[in-house]
A and B are shown apart, each in its own frame.
Chain A
């Protein structure tokens, strides 16, 4: 099977699409899952009944029965998976990715490329050992709307991802013959970053497959912008609540056992240890080897210990960003950066997919924010970010909650604030659990004003913007009600204007149209990537951010 796929035009008609099968090992991997699920469900749910059955049968035979049952379920699961695999096909056209599944209930699903929100290559442990990978195409359709191609050979999955991203970017299929001349193409010209790496999705000159003029899509060049060291990940877990909770519980249980002379109290520790262990393992497993790279195809994130995941979020797909910090992280000045992406919201593993940086230093947090929003819309982005992360009241030009808000929120009042920049809305909140939310104007879905009875008496109102499903829920509490109403009106207008000039969904065409002669696209250098926190930076003209 060649990795070079001819993109058939979407209009060719279903039967003319280039339908392909998934990797033949797929049923074995899926059948295995059925077996594990069966054993787990039976083991946990029906252990009582099993014990009775085992007693009735006698010790020798019970094992045979259990083994037989597991074998039967395994075979049935495997056969079903194999039959399901036989009918499962996928096809890539120039407008969509189609997936046909279903043995009994036929289903054909298509992911439109212009609605593509993210492309993930996921490798669970077993698949990884076999050199297989799963390709997830996220579209904004709520839970279960993703098209999952499981499993493909790893090289095939990455090649397919490159092709899908190139098609979605609007670079379009180019015959291999024009490969060497690709630099004459305006889209690719615009995409060439300063260091002269070949552009995204353009056919790679040297990679014409043997015996065919089919185009091969090279993966977009990418530059790593940050990486999470293991030591910091472990430090961040040590500085979180669950391990300490476990320590306190352990001390209490041991102390109690000694005082009472009864070892029974120690058993309380088992569920606590399991819970804390699960939390720690989850954090390590998703956060380990976390790397982020900028590429013309958008943000590329790689992470995972046993199950690895490579996410690609194209430009303009991030709906909102949140930087948050708990009290234990303050000393180290670490921040967790999370994003709302329309495709991830409904997914079961939304938590894993929505993290842009699990533990960022302040400088890295600035870079992470830059990945999403290259232009923060203020003259001095780092100063504005500092004011947002640690400032209170009017620091950095923020519009804060008025002093009378102390009657409804005496503790965190001074942190509530909002800053409107040319490109985004920055909302600040939380005194001990600090949080900063950034929403680009053109990503505002709908906005609202809310007022409770106490707020009404005090002339306050809360300003809310609604974002797609995800960890970020942008709102500012307790603004002056007239300020909030003015903000509502202005924001409605600003969001409309930003939408009007926002680029088309085909991001490379947008870049080509916008850049023309020279300029930087997402693949360029982060403005302050190397700047240490607090170090004076070049653009440090005292900003006059609009409030």
Chain B
């Protein structure tokens, strides 16, 4: 226990997830609206029947179910905006960085040369809100390199850019 170096110096207490000289780009705040809408739909689907059931049966303890659901939904709703704000990406010369999460944070570095293909997808709701998702695939299934909530123009630009960079730096497996 004494041999391990305690590298915890308060002087360098910067956020390690903020790699220095990296210009992060945030995703569109419309993603938060879209996610809130989805959450709202879930709220109707979940709360409606449980409230109706509690009202019909009339037992006081049955109200606990919608109450718990409401608290969870409210918590999720409050988190959405912060989660979307925490979702950022950065293009560097040789790799793409993606960071996400508040409670469970992650930072992924995907080298362009490792990219196998790029997906751009946009569901009906996402199209309504004018956002698209760009996903990078490497040969590793563990690579979770998804950037949701990009404006379609930016998504297309990113896709082309990633594809051209990937080609330039392609390196087998």
Query: Residues of A with Cβ closer than 8 Å to B?
Result: 115, 117, 140, 317, 319, 342, 393-394, 400-404, 406, 414, 442-453, 456, 459, 461, 464, 466-469, 473, 480-485, 488-489, 492, 495-496, 499-500, 502, 505
Contact = CB atoms under 8 A, between A and B. Distances in A.
A138 B153 CA distance: 39
Contacts of B8: 402, 404, 459, 480
Interface stretch (B41-49, B52-60, B79-87, B100-108): B100-108
A281 B105 CA distance: 44
Q: Quick one: which of A404, A489, A492 has the most chain B CB within 10 A?
A: A492
B173 interface: yes
B118 to A, nearest CB: 14
A406 B2 CA distance: 13
A500 to B, nearest CB: 8
Given A401-B4, A473-B142, A449 B17 contact: yes
B173 A485 contact: no
B143 A466 contact: yes
Given A449-B107, A492-B109, A482 B12 contact: yes
A412 B39 CA distance: 40
A459 B10 CA distance: 11
A445 B139 contact: yes
A446 B114 contact: yes
B105 A451 contact: yes
A495 B7 contact: no
Contact of B4 (A393, A489, A502, A505): A393
A482 B140 contact: no
B63 to A, nearest CB: 31
> Max chain A CB contacts within 10 Å: which of B16, B17, B107?
B16
B113 A496 contact: yes
Interface string B110-126: 11011000000000000
22 contacts: A115-B173, A317-B173, A403-B1, A403-B4, A403-B6, A404-B6, A406-B1, A444-B114, A445-B139, A445-B142, A446-B143, A447-B109, A449-B107, A452-B103, A452-B104, A467-B142, A485-B19, A488-B19, A492-B94, A496-B111, A499-B171, A502-B171
B109 A446 contact: yes
B108 A448 contact: yes
Given A404-B8, A445-B139, 12 more contacts: A140-B173, A342-B139, A402-B8, A443-B173, A444-B114, A445-B138, A447-B108, A448-B108, A485-B17, A499-B113, A502-B171, A502-B172
A447 B108 CA distance: 6
B91 to A, nearest CB: 13
A151 B42 CA distance: 54
Interface string B6-37: 11100010001101000000000000000000
Contacts of B95: 492, 496
A168 B16 CA distance: 44
Interface of B: 1, 3-8, 12, 16-17, 19, 94-95, 103-111, 113-114, 138-145, 171-173
A473 B143 CA distance: 12
B22 to A, nearest CB: 10
B7 A482 contact: yes
Task: Tell which of A466, A468, A484 has the most Cβ of chain B within 10 Å.
Answer: A466
A445 B140 contact: yes
A183 B8 CA distance: 60
Contacts of B113: 496, 499
Contact of A394 (B4, B12, B17, B94): B4
Contact of B16 (A393, A406, A461): A461
B142 A464 contact: yes
Contacts of B172: 115, 502, 505
B141 A469 contact: yes
Given A445-B114, A482-B16, A499-B171, A402 B4 contact: yes
A468 B19 contact: no
Nearest to A464: B142
Contact of A466 (B103, B142, B173): B142
Contacts of B5: 394, 402
B7 A480 contact: yes
B128 to A, nearest CB: 32
Query: Which one of B6, B106, B172 has the greatest number of beta carbons of chain A within 10 Å?
Result: B172
B19 A140 contact: no
Contacts of A466: 138, 140-143
Nearest to B172: A505
Given A342-B139, A393-B4, A496-B94, A488 B171 contact: no
B105 A456 contact: yes
Nearest to A458: B8
Given A402-B8, A480-B7, A485-B19, A446 B173 contact: no
Contacts of B143: 445-446, 466
A119 B126 CA distance: 45
B142 A402 contact: no
Contacts of A443: 173
A165 to B, nearest CB: 17
Contact of B106 (A319, A450, A489, A500): A450
A29 B29 CA distance: 61
Contacts of B103: 452-453
Contacts of B110: 446
